[in-house]
Structure 1
Amino acid sequence: MLTDLNLSLFLAYKSITKGNKGTLVLTIFIMSLIFVNLVFTASIFLGLGNTVNNQVINTLYGNIALEPKKDEKYISDIRSLEQKINSVPGVTGISSQYVIGAAFSYKDKSGAWAIRSINPDDEKTVTIIHNFMIDGEYLSKLDTDEIILGKEIPGGYGGDLEHLSLGGVKIGESVDVLFNNGVKRSYRVKGVFDVNFQQSNNLAYISQNEMESVLGFNDTASLILIKTAETGNEEIYIKKLLELGIKEEIKPWTVYAAMVKNITKSFDMIALLIAVIGLFVASVTIFIIIYVNTISKRRQIGILRAIGIKENIIIHSYIVQAMFYAISGTIIGLFIMFLILKPWFIEHPLKFPIGYVSLLIVPEKVSINTISLIAAALAAGLIPSWMAVRETILEAIWGD
């Protein structure tokens, strides 16, 4: 058994080293590009999904959100509730908010957007909006007649829905706001933010004190955002919150990212399709290389069989060649991914409407792609070599 394996390896070694060097280099190069394509496609789609998830968490809902009990409009006694939440180990931030729809008007332009009220100091512990002010300043706790706007609202900041904006509100100018409860106020625009996520850029923010004066009551909220030290363990935190006797609706961020799940499924299907095509190309490439090799060495194969070399040894030698192409291409592809593409994308992430996207390389995906490419190479090497040894020895040596 060991002798047969050694002989297969020897025949494969001689075939590779004595063969055309240009063909060898080109074949390995093609395998490396196919491997890079497999890993890159999966990684960029994973990066897209990861970016959207982070945007939902860091700009909209935190890791966990509390909503009012069923049939109730607001969460009451929020100060006591916040103390309970803060007692849970791993909770790093809490932001209680009112969320209300409003009609905005500026000169002859108008539109409807949602307004969230915040305590700016608390909000900074949950979301990252304060880090993305592109004009003006962030809110302060005592602001009562000022507002900050997502870049989709004022106009003039390169929004995706510029035609629906207010047409060019500048910092320091005032906008009129008619709240859903009929209260109308005028606010000075203090700042404009851009988190590169359209859903977040369609929001406006005022201080909690200002919203309480609009609504006429306090110590309530319509939404409480909770930031945790880790993402992915939300169910553990939800269990702890329930154990504290919290009766409000408790929802993880994944509930609000249902749209993202559908997008991710679409990305997975596209990545799978591209992977199948890539593996098919790899199989065909190796098949052609091995097939041409067996045709050109038809007489040599016949002579080997005539002197007593077993058929399975010849087949295994060609399978080893195919595996050599695939493994060499994989190794080079790994160097390209981890030493060139990954560092480059970290420094130069792609800008999408959902945020900045970099490669998310998951070891499990890399392993699957590696195994798939090697399996494709194995099949591509087996078929033509098996076809080659089906001929009789005389047919192989002298032709038909």
Structure 2
Amino acid sequence: MLSDHKLALFLAQKSIIKGNKGTLGLTIFIMSLVFVNSVFVSSLFLGLTNTINDQIINTVYGTVVIEPKKDEKFIDDVYSLKQKISRVPGVKGVSAQYIMGSVMSYKDKNGAWSVYSINPDDEVTVTTTHNFIIDGEYLSKLDENDILLGKEIAGGYGGDDESRSLGGVKTGDSIDVLFNNGVKRTYRVKGIFGVNFQRSDNIAYISQKEMTSVTGMEDKASQILIRTEDVGNEGQFIKQFLELGINEKIKPWQDYASMVKEITQSFDIISMLISGIGLFVAGVTIFIIIYMNTISKRRQIGISRAVGIKESVIINSYFIQALFIVMSGIIVGLLIVFYIVAPWFIAHPLDFPMGPVSLLILPENVFINAISLVIAASAAGLIPSMMAVRETIIESMWGD
């Protein structure tokens, strides 16, 4: 058995060495491109999903959200609740927000947007919006007549839907805000931010002090955002919050990421289709190469069988050739991915509407793509070699 394997390896080695080097090199290059394409597509979609998740956590919800009890509009006794939450080990920040709908007007433009009241000192411990001020300044907790606008509201800063904006509000301009409770205020625009995530850039912020004067209510919130040190163990923190006696609804950020789930499912389908096409191309390429090789060496195969070389040895020799080609392609592909493609996208991330997107290359993803390519190419290499040994020795030697 061992001698058969050695003989198959010897025949494969001789065939590779004496074969056309240009054809061999081109086939290996094609395999490497198929591998790079599969890894690139899946890693790009993973990177895009990761960016959306980061934006949801960093600019909208934090990692855990507390909402009012069932059938209640607001969270009461907010200060006491924040104190409890802050004492839990692993909690980095807690920010209470009161949310109210409004109609904003500037010159001849108007539109409906939500206004969030925040304590800026708390908010910066949970979200990263303060790092994306593109004009003016961030709010302070003492501000009463100032407002912070997302670029989708202000307009003129490269938003995704300029037609629905206020048409180009600048820092220092005054806008009118009619709240849903009928209170109307005029605010000076203190700053404009743009995190490149439409959901976040359609928000306006005022201080808690100002919202209290608008609503006439104190120590109430529409939601409380919590930022934990690690992402992924929200369930453990929720359990601890419940043990503190918190009766409000407590949800992890994933409950608000339904959009991401739908996008991820679509990406998975697209990735499988593209990878499937790539594997088909790889299989066809290997099939053609091995098939042409068996055709050109038809008489040699017949002679080999006539002198006593087993059919399994001949099949294994072509299987080894196919395996050599695909493994060489994977090695070249790995070099391209980790030394050319990945560094390039780290230095030059793609600019998507939800933020800069780079590749997220996971080892298990690379492994799965490599194994899939090996299986597809090896199977394609076996078929023509098995076809070649089905012929009788006379037919192989004389072409009859």
TM-score normalised by structure 2 residue count: 0.99
Q: Which residue of 2 aligns with 1:341?
A: 341
Q: Which residue of 1 aligns with 2:46?
A: 46
Q: Which residue of 2 aligns with 1:378?
A: 378
SS of the aligned residue for 1:389 comes to helix
Deviation, structure 1 residue 365: 1.1
Aligned equivalents of 2:379 and 2:293: distance in 1?
16
Aligned equivalents of 1:231 and 1:28: distance in 2?
41
Q: Which residue of 1 aligns with 2:126?
A: 126
Aligned equivalents of 1:72 and 1:160: distance in 2?
35
Q: Deviations over 1:114-156 (max 9, x none)?
A: 1111111111111110000111111111111101100011111
Q: Which residue of 2 aligns with 1:6?
A: 6
Deviation, structure 1 residue 221: 0.7
SS of the aligned residue for 1:158 comes to coil
Q: Which residue of 2 aligns with 1:295?
A: 295
Q: Residue 69 of structure 1 aligns to which amino acid in structure 2? A: K
Q: Which residue of 2 aligns with 1:315?
A: 315
Within the alignment, does 1:190 sit opposite 2:225 as a pair? no
Once the two structures are superposed, the pairs formed by residues 195-214 of structure 1 within 5 Å of their partners are 195-214=195-214
Once the two structures are superposed, the pairs formed by residues 208-357 of structure 1 within 5 Å of their partners are 208-357=208-357
Once the two structures are superposed, the pairs formed by residues 105-116 of structure 1 within 5 Å of their partners are 105-116=105-116
Q: Deviations over 1:48-90 (max 9, x none)?
A: 1111111110000000100000111110111111111112111
Aligned equivalents of 1:232 and 1:258: distance in 2?
17
Q: Residue 316 of structure 1 aligns to which amino acid in structure 2? A: N
Aligned equivalents of 1:315 and 1:358: distance in 2?
43
SS of the aligned residue for 1:322 comes to helix
Deviation, structure 1 residue 183: 0.8
Once the two structures are superposed, the pairs formed by residues 61-100 of structure 1 within 5 Å of their partners are 61-100=61-100
SS of the aligned residue for 2:154 comes to coil
Within the alignment, does 1:137 sit opposite 2:137 as a pair? yes
Deviation, structure 1 residue 323: 0.6
Q: Deviations over 1:293-339 (max 9, x none)?
A: 00000001111111111000100000000011111111111111111
Deviation, structure 1 residue 220: 1.2
SS of the aligned residue for 1:153 comes to helix
SS of the aligned residue for 1:171 comes to coil
Q: Residue 96 of structure 2 aligns to which amino acid in structure 1? A: S
Aligned equivalents of 2:86 and 2:159: distance in 1?
37
Q: Residue 336 of structure 1 aligns to which amino acid in structure 2? A: I
SS of the aligned residue for 2:153 comes to coil
Q: Residue 4 of structure 1 aligns to which amino acid in structure 2? A: D
Q: Which residue of 2 aligns with 1:153?
A: 153
Q: Deviations over 1:194-243 (max 9, x none)?
A: 00001100000011111111111111111100001111111111111111
Q: Residue 208 of structure 1 aligns to which amino acid in structure 2? A: Q
Q: Which residue of 2 aligns with 1:27?
A: 27
Aligned equivalents of 2:276 and 2:168: distance in 1?
49
Q: Please report the RMSD computed on the Cα atoms of aligned residues, expressed in angstroms.
A: 0.7
Q: Which residue of 1 aligns with 2:170?
A: 170
Aligned equivalents of 1:259 and 1:377: distance in 2?
37
Deviates more, 1:29-38 or 1:163-172: 163-172
Aligned equivalents of 2:84 and 2:326: distance in 1?
57
Deviation, structure 1 residue 399: 1.0
Aligned equivalents of 1:50 and 1:86: distance in 2?
27
Aligned equivalents of 1:337 and 1:126: distance in 2?
35
Aligned equivalents of 1:214 and 1:190: distance in 2?
18
Is there any run of 5+ residues in structure 1 with no aligned partner, and where?
none
Q: Which residue of 1 aligns with 2:101?
A: 101
Runs of 4+ aligned residues of structure 1 deviating over 4 Å after TM superposition are: none
Q: Residue 86 of structure 1 aligns to which amino acid in structure 2? A: S
SS of the aligned residue for 1:152 comes to helix
Deviation, structure 1 residue 363: 1.2
Q: Residue 26 of structure 2 aligns to which amino acid in structure 1? A: L
Aligned equivalents of 2:236 and 2:346: distance in 1?
32
SS of the aligned residue for 1:188 comes to strand
Aligned equivalents of 2:185 and 2:330: distance in 1?
63
Is there any run of 5+ residues in structure 2 with no aligned partner, and where?
none
Aligned equivalents of 1:242 and 1:364: distance in 2?
36
